[in-house]
Structure 1
Amino acid sequence: MTDEPVIARIRLNPHSRDVQRDLRDATEMHRTMMRMVPDDLGESPRSQTGLLYRLDDTDTTSTLLVQANHLNPARLPAGYGQADIKSLAPMFAALRKGLAVRYRILLNPAKRERLPREAKGKRGRIVPLSGADADQWWLRRAADAGLHVHVLTPINMPPIRPRRQDADGMRHSLIRYDGTATVTDPDALHEAVLAGIGRGKPYGAGLLSLAPAPVA
């Protein structure tokens, strides 16, 4: 177990029954990811340890990226996958204003519905955003996070609805954004990477990945 922010890249074993179960059910995936953080964290354990994760699929493999302040992949079910873990400290040390980066993030763009004036005191439901509205939502969030986005490529992903009775019943519409950006505020970006962005974090949304952009 580590005491600094780390990220694990887990190449999933497609023959594992635990993996197959988790790929079918986002709530079960969340429970499996929480096995890697310490026990007895009290209320809001995911937030306390900063756990974020994202599933990246290709034609041949499924890889989980998992980020947290404390992470122990040895606590995953036997045969779940091969995990490589590294510290986030070098990435944070490299952040500087003007740095060109490539990014990837899976998001649940949403807004709270505005109610008529006569409904004072009530809160509108959360509604998902799509298309240009979702793109603008991400551009605003990216700016707040210290990124000036140059390119954004949206990919609509399968939505998630938690299945367990005690889970949040909200349907999470997911969009993955890939692109390039320039760092405008390294401190804000550091915080955004650690805290994640947007809703749906227990179900695989919000993890912002960064890498240096190739020099033209």
Structure 2
Amino acid sequence: MTAHHASLARIRLNLRHRGVHRDLRDATEMHRTLMRLVPDGLGDSPRLRSGLLYRLDVTEHATTLLVQAAAPLTPENLPAGYGETDVKDLSPMFAALRPGLGVRYRITVNPAKRERLPLTQKNKRGSVVPLTGPEADQWWVRRAADAGLQLKSLLPAPQDPARRHGKNNPPLRHSLIRYDGTATVTDAEALSTALLAGIGRGKPYGAGLLTLAPASAQ
């Protein structure tokens, strides 16, 4: 199997920091701040070239940002006092993936489908429609299978939608759902590709980052 490399930063946010409050209110500002973690000079599509993905995990004890990239991560470039950061190399996780391995997973996704238009509008593209409920669950089951995961369980939890503010920005509202559960790896190479590239739409706005842990881990 091809050797894959990425790093994951876990940032426990300082909720008293003005920059954190700004970024939590505006997905565009969050994206701008997190791009400071990867090198400059990546051309016209720096997020895509760096492989940067992120997810916001909120519990009663902490608000944590997980940020993954194939490019080197430099947490010292974050604003002073933004949060406590720990970075780990994901290479051992990629090396451990194999068919039949049981894992626990977590992902926040933006389930959506493109609206079908009547034949009279065959030269036009339909709108992208967010999915909810069983339709969203089925979307995730299909996308997980494509990514080399056979789901054994899934627990959906709707998240606050990603929003964008500002006079010069068109409104943004990405519907987000977090899924937790267990699964079995069916295709290690497809799974590695999905882990690096992210799954679904809305990657610049906190969707698509899949994280794994051994099924036996607590």
Q: Classify the TM-score, shorter chain.
A: over 0.9
How many Å separate the matches in 2 of 1:147 and 1:23? 31
Does the residue aligned with 2:152 lie in a helix, a strand or coil? strand
The amino acid of 2:184's aligned partner reads: T
TM-fit CA distance, 1:166:
5.6
Q: Secondary structure at the match of 2:160?
A: strand
Deviation at 1:124, TM superposition (A): 0.3
Partner of 2:83: 81
Indicate the residue corresponding to 1:68 in structure 2.
Answer: 69
Matches within 5 A, 1:120-159: 120-159=122-161
In the superposition, the TM-score normalised over structure 2's length comes to 0.94
Distance 1:118 1:171 in 2: 29
Alpha-carbon distance between aligned partners in 2 of 1:167 and 1:145, rounded to the nearest angstrom: 33
The amino acid across from 2:61 in the alignment is T
Which residue in 1 is equivalent to 2:28? 27
Determine if the alignment matches structure 1 residue 190 to structure 2 residue 205. Answer: no
Distance in 2, matches of 1:58 and 1:163, equals: 25
**SS, match of residue 151 in structure 1:** coil
Segments of 5+ residues of structure 2 without an aligned counterpart are none
Change (3 A) 1:166 1:43: farther
Find the aligned partners of 2:176 and 2:138 in 1 and give their Cα distance.
Answer: 15
- Partner Cα distance (1:106, 1:8) in 2: 17
- Further displaced range: 79-88 or 160-169: 160-169
Q: Name the count of aligned residue pairs.
A: 212
Q: CA deviation at 1:161?
A: 2.7
RMSD of aligned Cα (Å): 1.3
* Separation (CA, whole Å) in 1 of partners of 2:41 and 2:166: 22
State the match for 1:50 in structure 2. 51
Query: Cα deviation per residue 1:66-109 (whole Å; 9 max; x = unaligned)?
Result: 00022111100000011100111000011010000000000000
Tell me, yes or no, if the aligned pair for 1:7 and 1:88 is still in contact at 8 Å: yes
- Cα distance in 2, alignment partners of residues 102 and 165 from structure 1: 42
Shift of residue 60, structure 1, vs aligned partner:
2.3
| TM-aligned CA deviation for residue 164 of structure 1 | 4.0
Give 1:14 shift: 1.2
Instruction: Tell which deviates more after alignment, 100-109 or 36-45.
Output: 36-45
8 Å CA contact 1:55, 1:62 repeated in 2: yes
Shift of 1:168: 6.2
Q: How far off is 1:195 after superposition?
A: 0.2
* Selected match of 1:199 from 182, 198, 201: 201
d(CA) in 2 for partners of 1:166 and 1:107? 26
Give unpaired runs (5+ residues) of structure 1: none
1:43 and 1:166, CA in 2 relative to 1: closer, same or farther beyond 3 A? farther
Give the structure-1-normalised TM-score. 0.95
- Which residue does the alignment assign to 1:163? 165
Q: 1:22 to 1:142 in 2, by over 3 A?
A: same
- Assess if the C-alpha contact under 8 Å between 1:27 and 1:167 holds in 2: no
Q: Secondary structure at the match of 2:154?
A: strand
